[in-house]
Amino acid sequence: MDGLAYQIRNVSKSYNGRRVLAVDQLEIHRGEILALVGPSGAGKSTLLRLLNFVEPPAEGEIVFFGATLGDGAPVSLELRRRVTTVFQRPILLSRNVWANVAYGLQLRGKKEYHRQVDAALERVGLSHLAKEKARTLSGGEAQRVALARAIVLQPDVLLLDEPTANLDPYNVGLIEDIVRTLNSERGTTIVLVTHNVFQARRLAHRVGLLLDGQMVEIAAAEPFFSAPRDPRTAAFAKGEMVY
Ligand code: ADP
């Protein structure tokens, strides 16, 4: 882990005049798995939308691999393409699985991508379903297609927004393994939004707790769970926080 993927300073975001995110400082290390936990409505997805440049912050700045963003100027396509997001419910094209995985590479004008698509499908254990219609897949399989579609683009940063919510334990295990391997083999920086503290504990190097749009505590996973500094972290980790 050398260097920083993101440095966030005094970033805030409001909707309809209501401030939903206010993060003074957040550093995301290159090559780490950072889990963002917190109750529903805490601002986790809003923060991800800033990290993938879908929305600009209202205030503050984001330094992304050394490039300072946040003065309202549009973020270049080149930078945006370094980040890929996988959502809770993937939207797949009504084509076969293979075509879904190839689509992003086609959009980027790539040629000769057959081997990459095959490798991505292999990595998520779906080679045998390559010719199936994507929309006939189970939830877990569809999510693995979404992961293959992300992996094939070889992003520097992968953002995962509740990637295993509502999936069966078998697929949760598979997806966690894929994420872990991607991080350890390719050094992909991963930001995982989850309200599942067990998943955060299993996967993340560091964990941050967001509450009411603020980062209450961020620490290495072990001390975050075993010796939290903030009582709200302790309550959340123990499942005592009511939300
Ligand atoms: P989380 O991902 O932690 O559940 P969100 O980031 O989705 O939280 O939402 C944080 C708050 O911002 C919530 O109160 C939500 O209702 C509000 N919010 C999020 N997106 C929008 C939007 N596009 N318009 C209005 N309010 C929004």
CA distances, 126 to each of 114, 119, 153, 163 (Å): 15, 10, 17, 17
Q: Which amino acid, residue 111?
A: K
Nearest protein CA to atom 22 of ligand 1, as residue: 15
The dihedrals phi and psi of 181, each to the nearest 5 degrees, come to -65, -40
* Total number of residues shown for the chain: 243
Most distant CA pair in the chain: distance in Å?
54
Going from the Cα of 210 to the center of ligand 1, the distance in angstroms, rounded, reads 13
The span from the CA of 106 to the CA of 230, in Å, is 47
CA distances, 120 to each of 18, 40, 146 (Å): 41, 32, 10
The pTM for the full model equals 0.95
Going from the Cα of 143 to the center of ligand 1, the distance in angstroms, rounded, reads 23
Going from the Cα of 208 to the center of ligand 1, the distance in angstroms, rounded, reads 18
Is the CB of residue 46 below 6 angstroms from any atom belonging to ligand 1? Answer: yes
- Segment 66-79, tens digit of pLDDT: 999 877 778 999 99
- Segment 113-163, tens digit of pLDDT: 999 999 999 999 999 999 999 999 999 999 999 999 999 999 999 999 999
| The predicted structure's pLDDT at residue 243 | 54
The span from the CA of 83 to the CA of 159, in Å, is 7
* Cβ contact 68:9 at 8 Å: no
